[in-house]
Amino acid sequence: MGKALKRAGLALAGAALVVGGLRWALSSEPRYASWEKPRYQDFKHRVLILGGGFAGYNAAKNICEKTKNRDDVGVMLIARDNYLTFWPMVPGVVSSDVGARNIAQPLRRTLIHLGASFRRAEVESVDFENKVVRADGHEFPYDELVLALGAQPSFFGIPGVEEHAIPMRGITDAVKIRDRVIERFEQATLESGEVDESSLTFVVIGAGATGVETAAQLHVLIHEVLGPEYPSISPHRFRIFLVDALPHILPELDLGLRRVARGQLAAREIEVLTNTLAEEVTENCVRFKDGSQISSENVIWTAGSRPNSKLDDIGIPQVEKTRGAKVDEYFRVEDYDHVWAIGDNATIPDGDGGFVPPNAQAAVKEGVALAHNLLARIDGDSLKPFKYRSRGQLIDLGSQFAVNDALGVKFSGFLAALFWRGYYVSQLDSPQNRLRQIIDWLLELISRPTIAQIRGSSAE
């Protein structure tokens, strides 16, 4: 009964947060009626944004909102996918605590409503002299270009990682991990439990926020969701390792919260190995620098990322250490006029001698600040240097437990999990996505999540 009440609290707390979004969906008017929207090419100032992640989307959104009463600025966003991945909730897809479609927020619908144009295409090249971007064989002119191409996994030259590990890059990979667990349960059942232990061992490499949450959600999936459906297979036969080269997990959190998180992982039989550097990954084994190894056919890579390699192709100057686009405190790319860069593909000075961290929280703020500076440049006004201050970190460990640092307030447990759900569901930009996710959480009061492996599919 207590568990049901906790779940009810988690779901109902978010319900009120949907109201504002529904009001927006019902009452707001698009910037242009469908018959009066000018073509992107016809605007006096054409802003072309490459990338549909948090940085690119928020830049487009804020530019449109700031120019809704003027007709001289047109915005187009080009992205490889036609949806925005809400990254903070991606690990929850592994256990189906979070619905994949609920955190894939449609870009086209929102951008068209705001008055922007959208094209789903792969960027091929940029002609900076003639101010033209080529994507999927088509040319797109610009007056102001914003690079927000995001990041990609970095394997640090470790042999076998790219071939044998599942990199945690987004929703598709979270579904792939979930399907892998289902496949292992089915394999063990079919073979009457006579399977090699390496088939039932999962190794998550990288103990930052994504790695810790992924390991926790693997435990939820195995023990709470799938375990009861496979009574002939003990979920305790599955082993989960969390490995990192650093001396501690969650380096972004303070020592106290790290200890709480590690204690929770230990209580769930997740084996944490720190100061352990991977040397090679094979199809059935992970070898480490110290000579030890773990037999596993299921390796998940969350250990690092690097700015999009497309920057190399288009010749953007980069900071040598990070490989991110070299920009000033206003987001202007060094030596390139009318070119800006934000998000994970940029190395942005933080004003204190360091750089802004490449995370979703920073990317959102960068999109807002970029909109101000870009329009200030168009209008001949002064630009404002970007100042980033973190609001903290929220880490979900599943099973109604989280560890949070919110605006300097540190707390953990059920209250933290309630806050995690309420805050992140409120940040989903689509009112429909918010409502669907809350309904899914309500349905968990009476049943476990419905999970099926749809072969050949990469989404729910």
Same topology for domains 31-153+306-379 and 161-303, yes or no? yes
Distances from the Cα of 260 to the Cα of 128, 224, 446, angstroms: 51, 21, 30
DSSP string, 403-460: EEEETTEEEEEHHHHHHHHHHHHHH-S-HHHHHHHHHHHHHTTTSPPP----TT----
As a whole number of angstroms, the distance between CA 390 and CA 340 comes to: 22
Cα 213–93–88 angle (5° rounding)? Answer: 55
Phi, psi of 48, deg, nearest 5: -110, 125
Q: Identity (one letter) of the amino acid at 397? A: L
Q: Which residues of 228-241 are buried (b: 16+ CB within 10 A; e: fewer)?
A: eeeeebebeebbbb
- The answer to whether 243 touches 287, Cβ cutoff 8 Å, is no
> Which residue spans within 58-143 are E strands per DSSP?
73-79, 83-85, 104-106, 117-120, 123-127, 132-135, 138-141
The Cβ of residue 424 has, within 10 Å, a number of other Cβ atoms equal to: 21
As a whole number of angstroms, the distance between CA 425 and CA 103 comes to: 9
**Nearest CA-CA partner of 375 in 57, 124, 47:** 47
Distances from the Cα of 93 to the Cα of 129, 188, 216, angstroms: 44, 23, 12
- Give me the sign of the Cα torsion angle 88, 94, 97, 98: positive
CATH number, domain 31-153+306-379, options 3.50.50.60, 3.30.70.360, 2.102.10.10, 3.90.1150.10: 3.50.50.60
Domain ranges of the chain: 1-27+396-455, 31-153+306-379, 161-303
DSSP string, 5-39: HHHHHHHHHHHHHHHHHHHHHHH---SS-TTTPPP
Strand partners, 166: 300
As a whole number of angstroms, the distance between CA 256 and CA 246 comes to: 17
CATH number, domain 161-303, options 3.50.50.60, 3.30.70.260, 2.60.120.10, 3.40.1580.10: 3.50.50.60
3-state helix, strand, coil split of the chain in percent (to 5) is 40, 25, 40
pLDDT for 152: 93
Q: Which residues of 300-330 are buried (b: 16+ CB within 10 A; e: fewer)?
A: bbbbebbbbebbeebebebbeeebbbbbebb
Provide the token pair at 355.
Answer: 């750089």
- The answer to whether 94 touches 226, Cβ cutoff 8 Å, is no
**Nearest CA-CA partner of 238 in 277, 266, 199, 194:** 199
Going residue by residue through the chain (460 aa), what tens digit of pLDDT does each one get?
445 445 545 444 544 444 444 444 444 566 666 545 688 999 999 999 999 999 999 999 999 999 998 999 999 999 999 999 999 999 999 999 999 999 999 999 999 999 999 999 999 999 999 999 999 999 999 999 999 999 999 999 999 999 999 999 999 999 999 999 999 999 999 998 789 999 999 999 999 999 999 999 999 999 999 999 999 999 999 999 999 999 999 998 999 999 999 999 999 999 999 999 999 999 999 999 999 999 999 999 999 899 999 999 999 999 987 789 999 999 999 999 999 999 999 999 987 888 999 999 999 999 999 999 999 999 999 999 999 999 999 999 998 999 999 999 999 999 999 999 999 999 998 888 999 999 999 888 777 777 777 776 544 4
Q: Identity (one letter) of the amino acid at 124? A: E
For residue 382, give the DSSP letter: P
**Nearest CA-CA partner of 362 in 150, 100, 79:** 150
As a whole number of angstroms, the distance between CA 203 and CA 241 comes to: 5
